[in-house]
């Protein structure tokens, strides 16, 4: 994936984060769009780009809403690497697998941030809270749906629909 595309992907993630974040119903669909952007880059199998895209996404996320710059960058760079390893070694066969991997990655992101917050801010470790689980579920679901939409043969479907109408 080219650098320009990665930048566009990160911009899209930021816009989506703001679009849903400004809404009164932000709690209903707490998707981690930055993680999805990282996963999309990691899927290409290029380790360097996956790590750098993860770090950039994490920095953006930290700058926009977290106490210390670098916590999410650390977590997302590591997750980008792991997802790139997975995408090189494992070929996922469906939306369910992609959704599951993203949900697990979201929980791992939370665990890394919690550990860093414990070390640097002396904050109590909060794992598997309702927020964390709902974000993992929403991110997994959104990732799964995007994968399904990406894999779906829209052209064939459109042709079939057109032919059915002509009959």
Nearer to other proteins, 3 or 161 (CB): 3
Nearer to other proteins, 21 or 165 (CB): 21
Residue 41, number of CB atoms within 10 A of its CB? 26
Q: Do residues 17 and 34 lie in contact, with contact meaning Cβ atoms separated by under 8 Å?
A: yes
Q: Do residues 35 and 136 lie in contact, with contact meaning Cβ atoms separated by under 8 Å?
A: no
Nearer to other proteins, 15 or 159 (CB): 15
**Rounded-to-integer distance, Cα 62 and Cα 3, Å:** 21
> At closest approach, how far in Å is the CB of 167 from other proteins?
36
**Site residues (CB under 8 A) for other proteins?**
14-15, 17-27, 30, 46-48, 50-52, 55, 60-61, 63-74, 77-78, 81, 84-85, 88-94, 97, 109-111, 113-114, 116-117, 120-127, 129-132, 135
DSSP 43: T
Nearer to other proteins, 7 or 158 (CB): 7
> At closest approach, how far in Å is the CB of 165 from other proteins?
29
> At closest approach, how far in Å is the CB of 146 from other proteins?
18
Q: How far is CA 56 from CA 14, 60, 70, 90, in A?
A: 11, 6, 10, 25
**Rounded-to-integer distance, Cα 103 and Cα 29, Å:** 14
Token readout for 150 is 């990406």
> At closest approach, how far in Å is the CB of 155 from other proteins?
25
């Amino acid at each position: 994936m080219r650098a320009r595309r990665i930048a566009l992907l990160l911009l899209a993630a930021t816009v989506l984060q703001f679009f849903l974040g400004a809404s009164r119903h932000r709690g209903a669909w707490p998707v981690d769009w930055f993680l999805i952007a990282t996963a999309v880059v990691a899927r290409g199998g290029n380790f360097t780009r996956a790590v750098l895209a993860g770090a950039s996404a994490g920095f953006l996320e930290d700058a926009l809403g977290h106490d210390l710059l670098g916590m999410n960058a650390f977590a997302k760079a590591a997750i980008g690497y792991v997802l790139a390893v997975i995408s090189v070694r494992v070929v996922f066969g469906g939306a369910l697998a992609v959704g599951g991997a993203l949900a697990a990655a979201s929980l791992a992101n939370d665990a890394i941030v919690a550990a860093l917050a414990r070390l640097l801010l002396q904050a109590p470790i909060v794992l598997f809270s309702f927020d964390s689980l709902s974000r993992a579920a929403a991110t997994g679901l959104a990732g799964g749906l995007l994968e399904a939409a990406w894999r779906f043969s829209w052209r064939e479907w459109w042709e079939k629909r057109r032919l059915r109408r002509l009959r």
